[in-house]
Amino acid sequence: MKHLIIGNSAAAIGAVEGIRQMNKSDQITIISDEPYFTYSRPLISYLLSGKLSLEKMNYRSKSFYEDNHVTFKYAHAEKVDHLNKQVFLDDGDQMSYDKLLIATGSKAFIPPFAGLESVENKTTFLSLDDVKKLDAMGLESKRVLIIGAGLIGLKCAEGITKKAQSVTVLDLAPQILSSILDYDSSLIVKQHLEKKGINFILSATAEKFTQNTLTLKDKTQIDFDILVLCVGVRPNASLLSGIAAIEKGVVINERAETSVPDIYAAGDVTNGVAILPNAYVTGECAGINMAGGNKTISKMLPMNAIGFFGLNIITAGNYTGSIFELNKDSEFKRLFYQDGLLNGYIMIGNIAKAGIYTSLIREQTKLDTLDFPLICEKPQLMAFRLEERLEKLGGKVERMKFFQPEI
């Protein structure tokens, strides 16, 4: 069996590990348009700040391809011929496959700002090459303007604050991190970032760029030396356009199959929630099925763990329903619940044991089976019923014992 994987990040590596769970003999080739060993994309801001060396960016140990008998090929996949099961590469090669995985991730979304082409020093912030590009612009004594106060924009801001002369983040929305925080909680994080020297211009509409000046709709002018575009990302699904069903991203079923036989997709390129854990899990699922297994995945939960200058944030689910709030000292927490279920949560500062909340959302745990006030106070197994605690900590034997009638 010949597996071809386009992409070299979490979903691709998940697929390799999925295939190898099934067998050691199938042929695996990874095609990547980046000339690097598999690296962890979320770590690029750590590289930029100097916290991590290039070598520490590796997502797996250096012998990974060798250990898993993976052939790595640096090339850009240009076209998929699904009828003849071939992929055409930009170096003129064509590669045949039995099973194909599209794990091409996402690409930066750049709105058609007027005058953008007149800006000399500009970049997006998604890849190792973007970091190199930013570094080459020489951040020292430069005024950096970041468009987009989302996860990517703010991680970039954190990474360059110490180096750059000034960092200003601009967003159309009235709040920062609108993909993971509600308005109130965003104020806490914003304040923290401002203390660290980051400037914000929110509810702002960019009108036009003229070389090193941005003019807003309200005619305010912002001068900058370097522009970083972090408005958002879109699934990089063009390889399958006109071939497979695509909505926002490539549509996959619970086996990570696309609408085309023998073509799978995983990670940010799909319609799912674009975060690394989901990329790995869908990739692994695809891999297992590509190698003849039968793995299914349930719907992916939006969730996120991120930190800025030592302030930790963990969030999951959606923010509808009634709210339980805890806001004291350096701890902020909101739980959102409805119809006896936990919908979502936001934790800032103290993030201990957050995964217990995540599991309540994932497992759709009925809150009336729990000591709800206790679990609101802090996530803990004590809030579960005795038999569930026994199963969680004692395995299945304990559960059987518990249910045995006493004679």
CB of 351 to another protein, least distance (A): 6
User: b/e string for 247-265 if b means 16 or more Cβ within 10 A?
Assistant: eebbbbeebbbbebeebbb
* Nearest residue to 101 via CA among 118, 117, 123, 77: 77
Choice between 37 and 209, CB closer to another protein: 37
Tokens 């691709």 locate to 12
CB 191, min distance to another protein, A = 21
Q: Which is nearer to another protein, 193 or 276 (CB)?
A: 276
Quick check: helix, strand or coil at residue 30? strand
Structure tokens at 274: 């674009």
DSSP three-state, residue 118: helix
Pick between residue 77 and residue 128 the one whose CB is nearest to another protein: 128
Between residues 114 and 397, which has the closer beta carbon with respect to another protein?
Answer: 397
Shortest reach from residue 362's CB to another protein, in Å: 8
Cβ 77 to another protein, closest distance in Å? 25
How far is residue 333's CA from residue 56's CA, in Å, rounded to a whole number?
33
Provide the CA 176 distance to its chain's centre, in angstroms.
17
Q: How far is the CB of 226 from another protein (least distance, A)?
A: 25
The count of other CB atoms within 10 Å of the CB of residue 109 is: 13
Specify which residues 258 forms β-bridges with: none
Q: Give min distance, CB of 87 to another protein, in A.
A: 27
Provide the minimum distance between the beta carbon of 379 and another protein in the complex, in angstroms, as a whole number. 6
CA dist., res. 267 & res. 77, Å (int): 17
Measured distance CA(142)–CA(165) in Å, rounded: 5
Site residues for another protein per CB under 8 A: 10, 14, 40, 42-43, 46, 51-52, 56, 58-61, 276-277, 280-281, 284, 303-307, 312, 314, 316, 351-356, 358-359, 362-363, 374, 379-382, 389-390, 392-398
What is the DSSP-derived secondary structure letter of residue 87? Answer: E
Sign (positive/negative) of CA torsion 283, 289, 295, 296?
positive
